[in-house]
Amino acid sequence: MEFIFILIVCGVASFFLGWKAREVAAKKAILEMIDSTNEAYKDKIINVYIEKVNDQFFLYNKDTGAFITEVKSKNELMNFIQEKYTDKTVMIKRDDLDLLA
């Protein structure tokens, strides 16, 4: 009787340990995929931020702090981005876009 109880406890413990090990392995695999994706697209993404001074909006590269352009409206900004960055993705925070509204 005691032997059967020990077998059941060992079986349940093994199940939970295996489940946890599978979970850890899955998390590690997902993080590796995310890292490799980030590296693949790193050169295709430009992070920018906008500063408003009076009625002018200044666009800067968030990573380098370099000045990119000066615009007066959201339409002017969109036109600039479409013309200059046809092969890249420009990332702008929603708060910065709200400045242009």
Q: Domain ranges in the chain?
A: 42-99
What strand order describes the sheet that includes 67-71? 67-71, 56-61, 45-53, 89-92
Average pLDDT over residues 79-97: 87
pLDDT at 25 (0 to 100): 94
For residue 23, the model assigns a pLDDT of 94
What digits encode the pLDDT tens for the residues 18-58?
Answer: 999 999 999 999 999 888 877 777 788 888 999 988 888 89
57 membership: H or E segment, kind and range: strand 56-61
Class of the domain covering 42-99: alpha beta
pLDDT at 98 over 90: no
> What percent of the chain shows pLDDT beyond 70?
99
pTM of the model: 0.59
Instruction: For the beta carbon of residue 20, count every other beta carbon within 10 angstroms.
Output: 10
